[in-house]
Amino acid sequence: MRVGLLVCDHVRDELLPIAGDYPDMFAALFGGAVELCSYDVVSGELPASVAECDAWITTGSAASVYDPEPWIRRLGSFVVDVIGAQRPFVGICFGMQLMAQALGGEVAKAPQGWQVGVSHVTWTGPRPPWASPIPTDLKLLSSHRDQVVALPTRAEVLAGSPHCPVAVIAVGDHAIGFQGHPEFTAPYVAALCEGRRDRIGGDVVDIAIRSLDEATDASAVAAAIMAFIDAPG
């Protein structure tokens, strides 16, 4: 299974020793179960065809999907092509938001502010076969302020919370998105929060860092993603 990783950001140099860059994090998440082929889309690299890989994953980013950057517009068009071709697509954080926007939904800064640390969301939607490893109370590391505020056509919310009503979505049978980060590690999120303390707010960061003692369901989400991209059809 050849999975294209559409890399939408890079870890700051001083944080690289913690868990590496995005391709390293996703490689660790999947433990060699797939062949990851990385594309540095934030630097302008895009695949020539959706057929280059069997499935596609779009990473998180410090950018916002509504930023007027040419690479974001081009990536959005590519994601639409992937979904139109019925290649399995998985959007993570920014990647989920980009999918929603590219298909006609809306993304905005959440009035409730940042969500950082370990987030709890409740699975309320249908549970297709690929989702069986995911618990009803899903815990993932998070770091975002933007959220999907209007769904595109055919999108369905599978999980959410009062703070983040749209936390897991499916668009038809070939595209899913997670607002949380299964690939992140607790030490990385701690360092990321500390580096953004002035932007996020000290009290919010302190609560987030205390939450990092909780175990997450990252391995269950990794198994679910694998089942999703392996599903026939």
CA–CA separation, 45 and 85 (whole Å): 20
Report pTM. 0.97
Helix (H) or strand (E) holding 172: none
36 touches 23 (CB < 8 A): yes
Distance CA 190, CA 179 (A): 18
Give the number of other Cβ atoms within 10 Å of residue 134's Cβ.
22
- For the question of residue 183 being annotated catalytic, the response is yes
pLDDT, tens digit, 9 for 90 and up, residues 205-223: 999 999 999 999 999 999 9
Q: Please write the tens of the pLDDT for every residue from 102-136.
A: 999 999 999 999 999 999 999 999 999 999 999 99
- The rounded distance, in Å, linking the Cα atoms of 61 and 33 is 24
Q: Which domains does the chain have, with CATH numbers?
A: 2-230 (3.40.50.880)
**Distance between CA 189 and CA 207 in Å, rounded?**
12
pLDDT at 54: 97
Active-site pick, 93, 164, 174, 193: 93
pLDDT at 231: 85
What's the CA dihedral at 188, 217, 145, 177 to 10 degrees? 120
Please give the Cα distance from 193 to 102 (Å, whole number).
29
- Residue 181 is among the residues annotated as catalytic for this protein: yes
CB 36 within 8 A of CB 68: no
Tell me the average pLDDT of the chain.
97
Angle, alpha carbons 33-6-169 (nearest 5°): 80
**Residues 121 and 167 sit within 8 Å (Cβ to Cβ):** yes
pLDDT of 233 > 90? The answer is no
Q: Of 8, 144, 164, 183, which one is the catalytic site residue?
A: 183
